[in-house]
Structure 1
Amino acid sequence: MAVVIGQARQTPVSRSKRKIPDYLICEVLDGKPLYYRGYEDVMAGKKTLEEIMGSSSLQALLISYLAKIIFSFIDDEKYFVLISEPGVHLDNRDNLSNDIGIYDQAILTPAKISKKYTDVPPKIVIEVDISIAISELTETGYIYKKTGKLLGFGVEKIIWVLTEAQVVMVATKESIETFSWDKNIELMDGQEFNIGAFLAKKGIVVE
């Protein structure tokens, strides 16, 4: 009796099991890669990497506003101000990035400036919104875990501007406080910013 042997049925590999390329990793937290928000669209061929890495116009404007304030008063003989998502290497399980990092030059010495992530803590970190895809962590969980890591690394103050909730969270080792973004908030050395007032002055309405 002849036996007909057909081709074995091939089970398609689900997208969730496909290896995600390293270039889609935004940060590493507790040894786990965190991917850019929208990485699934890149995997599916719907978007390019450049499309998901870019900031929204609101996010970019607020980073520019805060950077302008900083550069108006900062002592550039004492501090370095790093923008454009400077990376921070905390340890072999944590590589994070920030929107703005203010570094004391006594800690980030000229000799430590290189093509690699910095491995010393900024004095102040500023973050505007979240750029990663939230999977296992909630947004709140991610914010608090990253904040705790940075404070433990030696950062003195972390400022989060969250446009969806229209709030500013200020974290130090002593406290974590959340304010309406319509309030004046100290950045450093008595210098303040007010997100709500800035947007109102520019005629920008955020819904």
Structure 2
Amino acid sequence: MIASSNPQKVLPRKISAKNIPDVLIHEIIDGIPLYRRGYRDVLAKTKTVEDIMGCSSLQFFIIDYILGILYPSINRQKYIIATNEAGLHLDKRNNLSGDIMIFDKDVLTIDKIDTHYSKVHPKISIEIDLDVELETFTENGYITIKTQKLLGFGADKVIWFLTKPKSVMIAAKDAEWQTFSWDHDIEVLDGISCNVGKYLKDKGSEFA
């Protein structure tokens, strides 16, 4: 397992929350705001909000690869694919976002689609790296608690692709969490698989 079942917390350097604009909040877990990576640079006026909003080129390259597999293969009559930091409202103390989420249309019905975060669970959640400043949790602690929240909310599977260790972690309901090198074939759902490491290698990326 990549993460323990007991998320560890770290002590952040204190900045008054009242001085941090809401746009810098990426997620809220158990009532604790988790700020976007680089938010301190924005507060110090060395970067703008726009500078820290996007993902790296490696991250969007991987996202593009996974979406390129999903869109032509998935049953579009049955599933909706959400991207662009899709938001989830679990309850009044928990708002999460995701890089790629797959919703079952029988769960995310048309009457539940509005201008707010989704209040129903995705079937599959896919994350590429961490987009938060690690102040409240360690990296493993954050991955663990976010994964637990998603599974507890109703997701069948949570998949993390981590670029620095070149690994993939898969957590599913009622199953042991597993971690592999990312050059393994990983089933997303319904027999649809991806292999990030092989794809990067085939494309000649130095990050393969």
Residue matched to 2:130: 130
Tell me, which stretches of 5 or more residues in structure 1 are unaligned? 1-13
What's the TM-score, normalizing by structure 1?
0.91
* Deviations, residues 109-161 of structure 1 (Å, cap 9, x unaligned): 01111110000000000000000000020010000000000000000000000
Structure 2: runs of 5+ lacking an equivalent: 1-12
| 1:25 alignment counterpart | 25
Report what 2:100 is aligned to: 100
**Structure 2: how far apart are the matches of 1:110 and 1:76?**
14
Provide, for residues 78-117 of structure 1, a one-character-per-residue CA deviation record: whole Å limited to 9, x for no partner: 1111111100000011000000110000000011111100
In the alignment, the residues of structure 1 paired with residue 14 and residue 164 of structure 2 have an alpha-carbon distance, to the nearest angstrom, of: 30
Counterpart residue identity of residue 39, structure 1: Y
What is the CA distance between 1:164 and its match in structure 2? Answer: 0.6
In structure 1, the residue matched to 2:151 is 151
Structure 2 CA distance for aligned equivalents of residues 98 and 122 of structure 1: 10
Distance 1:136 1:54 in 2: 22
In the alignment, the residues of structure 2 paired with residue 179 and residue 98 of structure 1 have an alpha-carbon distance, to the nearest angstrom, of 21
Partner deviation per Cα, 1:13-33 (whole Å, 9 max, x = no partner): x98346211111000001000
CA distance in 1, matches of 2:53, 2:139: 18
Tell me the number of residue pairs that the alignment of Structure 1 and Structure 2 aligns. Answer: 194
CA distances 1:50-94 after superposition (whole Å, capped 9, x unpaired): 110111000001011111111121111111111111000000110
The aligned counterpart of 2:87 is 87
Equivalent residue, structure 2, for 1:180: 181
| TM-score, normalised relative to structure 2 | 0.90
Distance in 2 (alpha carbons) for counterparts of 1:28 and 1:56: 22
Matched, 1:68 2:68: yes
Match of 2:207 in 1: 206
1:147-182 deviation digits (Å, cap 9, x = unpaired) = 000000000000000001100000012121000001
Question: Is 1:16 matched with 2:19?
Answer: no
Give the counterpart letter for 1:93 in structure 2: R
Higher relative contact order by CA 8 Å / sep ≥ 6: 1 or 2?
2
User: Highest CA radius of gyration, 1 or 2?
Assistant: 1
Distance 2:188 2:85 in 1: 19
| Distance of 1:191 and 1:106 partners within structure 2 | 20
| Residue identity in the other structure for 1:196 | G
Give the counterpart letter for 1:103 in structure 2: F
Q: Does 1:171 align with 2:163?
A: no
Q: Report the counterpart of residue 189 of structure 1 in structure 2.
A: 190
Percent of pairs with identical residues: 48
